[in-house]
Amino acid sequence: MTEPRSGPLEGILVVDLTRALAGPHAGMMLGDLGARVIKVENPGSGDDTRGWGPPFVQPEGAARESTYFLSTNRNKESVTLDLKDDADKELLRELVRRADVLLENFRPGTLARLGFGTDVLAELNPRLVTLSISGFGHDGPEGSRAGYDQIAQGEAGLMSLTGPGPDDPQRVGVPIGDLLAGMYGAYGVLAALHERERTGRGQVVRTSLLAAIVGVHAFQGTAWTVGGQVGRAQGNHHPSIAPYGLFRCRGGSVQLSCGSEGLWRRLCAEFGLDPEADGLATNGERVGNRAQVIDLLERAFADIGPEDLLARLAAAGVPAGKVRSIDEVYAWDQTLSQGLLVDVDHATLGRLQLPGPPLRFFAPGPDGETETTRREHAAPPVLGGSDAEIRAWLTS
């Protein structure tokens, strides 16, 4: 058995039967918090994402690893089990008996057909918390549909809100439905573990890509359910605040946000504009005249380069920023200061840098705070990397 890992979930054992992204992301979140996460994979092939690329690290030979897999499986161990083999199914039963949490994202009904329905799991371990993630929900008229992120982004309305305009819907640049479902799933697991302390019993937590995306509709949801207005994609400008978005300047662009009338007045004072001009005096008026606001500001910015413009906006106290490329983000000293890059030692690839966990922890004390954030992380596992160790442990 591996050594205990530090973190709020130290001592919690998670059995991760998931593949692709939503479930593995939930498992990685729990692992980041100190849980022991054992990833169960198919012999020979493993998680589908092991083959998703390019890019690959070591593109040729047995040591090849996909950067996609590396993105969502840190702080886990890997054991290979064939769930159609009786001996391996017995090993999984023993894992379930010892586990606190089981994660699965099979199509609804699949786990039951393999002999591990929720009734069986509860009989094996009444304290087990099971997280089950599906594409569109586990019941309802379309509950049996397979879940793929881009399809869910479209079906759940997100693509209709994303892109340069209503006639050009766009997917978000990462599989946001998968990621959100994983986040909501981990959140549900933590709540169920907390409730188990009171009741002594586990329960089943269910979410879906559909539910996760609808869960973040935010003001676009209530614009329809309460206000009767259907939101549409409108590029890089906020539908309810103006000015708030991306503005062209000499040789580039900047983003700025005037979320209050005071900020609007500061912006106007800095660039010699009239905040009380006809049709621009209130946020509601500016939203109704958004094209006029954009034109006014882009004319004011036309002879100012991005860095100089950002400096003037900062001096005026107007929130603003640049659009960074991914490589620029990971080179940014602010990113590094937040622990968002971690170094790990991979079994076949050696020393790697990975994006780090987004949470930090601090213990307050009389002399100030002491950071207790976990510093050491385990690299994503090679396929079956813990087979011998885990099989020996389960049969001991």
One domain, residues 111 and 159: yes
Assess whether pLDDT exceeds 90 at residue 203: yes
pTM: 0.93
- Dihedral-angle region of residue 103 (phi above 0 means left; psi in -120 to 50 means alpha; beta otherwise): beta
Determine whether 303 is an active site residue. Answer: no
Instruction: Provide the residue range defining the domain that includes 316.
Output: 244-321
Concatenating the DSSP letter of every residue in 188-237 gives HHHHHHHHHHHHS---EEEEEHHHHHHTT-THHHHHHHTT-------TTB
Q: Is the CB of residue 128 less than 8 Å from the CB of residue 100?
A: yes
Segment 298-332, tens digit of pLDDT? 999 999 999 999 999 999 999 999 999 999 999 99
**Which pLDDT score, from 0 to 100, does residue 58 have?**
79
CATH of the domain at 120: 3.40.50.10540
One domain, residues 257 and 386: no
One domain, residues 270 and 202: no
Choice between 144 and 331, residue whose per-residue pLDDT is larger: 331
CATH of the domain at 295: 3.30.1540.10
- Report strand pairing: 129-134 vs 204-208: parallel
One domain, residues 198 and 314: no
Q: How confident is the model at residue 62 (pLDDT cuts 50, 70, 90)?
A: low
One domain, residues 153 and 277: no
* Domain contains 144: yes
Q: How confident is the model at residue 40 (pLDDT cuts 50, 70, 90)?
A: very high
**Which pLDDT score, from 0 to 100, does residue 116 have?**
96
How is the beta sheet containing 244-249 ordered, strand by strand?
A: 244-249, 252-257, 320-321
One domain, residues 271 and 385: no
- Kindly give the residue spans of alpha helices, DSSP state H, lying in 99-139: 110-113, 118-124
Q: Is the CB of residue 341 less than 8 Å from the CB of residue 335?
A: yes
Q: How confident is the model at residue 59 (pLDDT cuts 50, 70, 90)?
A: low
* Domain contains 355: no
Assess whether pLDDT exceeds 60 at residue 161: yes
The structural domain count of the chain equals 2
* Domain contains 336: no
One domain, residues 112 and 50: yes
- Per residue, the 3-state secondary structure of 303-365, as one string, reads CCCHHHHHHHHHHHCCCEECCCCHHHHHHCHHHHHCCCEEEEEECCCEEEEEECCCCCCEECC
Range 173-202 average pLDDT:
98
**Which pLDDT score, from 0 to 100, does residue 5 have?**
62
**Which pLDDT score, from 0 to 100, does residue 1 have?**
39
One domain, residues 160 and 281: no
Which residue, of 321, 347, 367, is where some domain finishes? 321
One domain, residues 250 and 199: no
Q: Could you say which of 16, 32, 47, 178 is catalytic?
A: 178
Pair of tokens at residue 113: 């057909």
* Domain contains 350: no
One domain, residues 89 and 163: yes
Segment 255-296, tens digit of pLDDT? 999 999 999 999 999 999 999 999 999 999 999 999 999 999
**Which pLDDT score, from 0 to 100, does residue 266 have?**
97
Assess whether pLDDT exceeds 80 at residue 60: no
One domain, residues 42 and 146: yes
* Domain contains 306: yes
Which residue, of 321, 337, 352, is where some domain finishes? 321
Assess whether pLDDT exceeds 90 at residue 195: yes
Which residue, of 305, 321, 337, is where some domain finishes? 321
* Domain contains 1: no
Cα–Cα distance, 18 to 123 (Å, whole number): 21
Q: Is the CB of residue 242 less than 8 Å from the CB of residue 279?
A: no
Pair of tokens at residue 382: 């090679």
Which helix (H) or strand (E) covers residue 270, if one does? helix 261-271
Range 77-95 average pLDDT:
96
* Domain contains 104: yes
Q: How confident is the model at residue 144 (pLDDT cuts 50, 70, 90)?
A: confident
In a 3-state reduction of DSSP, which class is residue 244?
strand
One domain, residues 118 and 251: no
Q: How confident is the model at residue 64 (pLDDT cuts 50, 70, 90)?
A: confident
Residue (of 354, 347, 351) closest to 78 by Cα position: 347
* Domain contains 361: no
Cα–Cα distance, 65 to 78 (Å, whole number): 14
Output the CA angle 389-390-391, nearest 5 degrees: 95
